[in-house]
Structure 1
Amino acid sequence: MNILRSPPVPFTDQASVSERRSNLLDASTISPAGFAWLMLGISVSMMLCGSVTFFIGFMLMPWVIGLLMVFYVAGIVSAISLLGRSIICNALAPPSPRKHIPDNCFFCSSLGFDN
């Protein structure tokens, strides 16, 4: 906690410069054991958060796979329905009359297809 705490600020003007320096050095230094505990706390908290995230993902994975399968089945049913509708409508529809292209068509005469 020494590294996280701000240095003490003297409120009197009578404090000497050396006293201020010693207060700043004491508050800003940390022992090797304190640094090790700080790193241990950070690593444990990261492991716990990672484990919780992994557990949530592991529990939700069957739902994700199930939803994916529902979308695949819906896509296959939609494609089969569209294919069947196009075949049935094409088979039952009366043949459309062909359009008559006049003999004096400008496009045909410009290409040299005059009759």
Structure 2
Amino acid sequence: MMRTQPQNQQDYYSKIFYELSALVLNIMRSPPPSIDFSDQAPSIHHRRRREGPSFQQITPAGFASLLLGVSLALMLCGSVTFFLGFILMPWVLGLVIFLYFVGVVSSISMIGRSILCHNSAPPSPRKDIPSWKLL
């Protein structure tokens, strides 16, 4: 059976997917930064930048490198998350079992106390109320 998610949660995931897609497309569209290591005058660099960016298409090797980097980042994040969960899970299970044990012992103690101490409690002193006060 498939659960339906609330509309605002679906919108949240749609926005995240849209932003990620836009980021990847912008990376693919933008040319690599041109870094000039020559000893030319800085005025030449300004003239080159004013001419406008020359958009280059991404090569298949560049696209493969991009996808490889994205998949590597996802694997690394997933591995770190798995490692943290693997380390913390025994602590969480231990805490849950401890609290369950404390709850069971507490309830057994309350049941035992109510059974054993019910008849041994001294009766509370009663005051006889005159019949004329009851009316």
Q: What's the TM-score, normalizing by structure 2?
A: 0.51
Structure 1 pair 95–12 and aligned structure 2 pair: CA distance change class (3 A)? same
2:69 alignment partner in structure 1: 41
Task: Determine the C-alpha separation between the residues in 2 that align with 1:21 and 1:58.
Answer: 55
Task: Determine the C-alpha separation between the residues in 2 that align with 1:40 and 1:62.
Answer: 34
Task: Determine the C-alpha separation between the residues in 1 that align with 2:31 and 2:107.
Answer: 62
What percentage of residue pairs aligned between the two structures are identical? 46
1:45 deviates by 1.2
Task: Determine the C-alpha separation between the residues in 2 that align with 1:92 and 1:4.
Answer: 89
Larger radius of gyration: 1
Task: Determine the C-alpha separation between the residues in 2 that align with 1:67 and 1:104.
Answer: 62
Is 1:21 paired with 2:51?
yes
Task: Determine the C-alpha separation between the residues in 2 that align with 1:6 and 1:104.
Answer: 104
Task: Write out the 4+ residue segments of structure 1 that deviate beyond 6 Å after TM superposition.
Answer: none
Letter matched to residue 32 of structure 1:
T
1:87 deviates by 2.9
Q: How does 1:87-98 map to 2 (within 5 A)?
A: 87-98=115-126
Letter matched to residue 50 of structure 2:
R
SS state at 1:47 partner: helix
Letter matched to residue 54 of structure 2:
L
The count of aligned residue pairs is 102
Identify unmatched segments of 5+ residues in structure 1.
109-113
* RMSD of equivalent CA atoms: 3.8
1:92 deviates by 1.5
Is 1:32 paired with 2:62?
no
1:86 deviates by 2.8
1:83 alignment partner in structure 2: 111
Task: Determine the C-alpha separation between the residues in 2 that align with 1:35 and 1:4.
Answer: 13
